[in-house]
Amino acid sequence: VATDRLTELDAAQIGLLLRSLVASPELLGSKTARSFRDSLVSMLELRTQQLHPSEAAALVPSLVKLRSNGGTQLADAIARRVSEGTMELQVTLVAAAAAGLSALRAVTPKLLEQTEKVLQQQVHLCTPRAVVQFAAAFTE
């Protein structure tokens, strides 16, 4: 029933459902949950442009947890969406997204360029974790 109603949800709501599903390892083990997850990923692949860059960036940790199950098309689309709004995101969110997308091998040259600009302008706001994440993004 839930998959039949996905079309009624906007991209942000679908992203929230995917993040919640991935956060629960118990749910991901079931066949029904895997099918639901695949439906969510498919819907997000079609609606990535509807996501605000911060919503797209917030999805990256879930994609990393899904790894190969998340679909490379979705990771690439998320990378493009994040790179379109990098300058308006918090530096810690940019660091986490860049590191995660780097781990997924979905970093675009534009994203790296925008990430470097954010780092240059906001390095004073970086947490130690963000510094490590930026380093990981630039070394992958």
Note the pLDDT tens digit of each residue in 44-74: 999 999 999 999 999 999 888 887 545 667 8
Output the pLDDT for position 3: 60
Give pLDDT < 50 ranges for the chain.
1, 69
pLDDT for 71 equals: 60
Neighbouring residues of 14: CB distance < 8 A, sequence distance ≥ 6? 6, 40, 43, 44, 47
Closest CA to 134 of 79, 93, 105: 93
Straight-line distance from the first to the last Cα atom of the chain, in angstroms, rounded to the nearest whole number: 41
This prediction has a pTM of: 0.85
Backbone angles phi, psi at 35, to 5 degrees: -65, -45
What is the phi-psi region of residue 137: left when phi exceeds 0, alpha when psi lies from -120 to 50, beta otherwise? alpha
pLDDT of residue 30: 79
pLDDT at 36: 85
pLDDT for 1 equals: 46
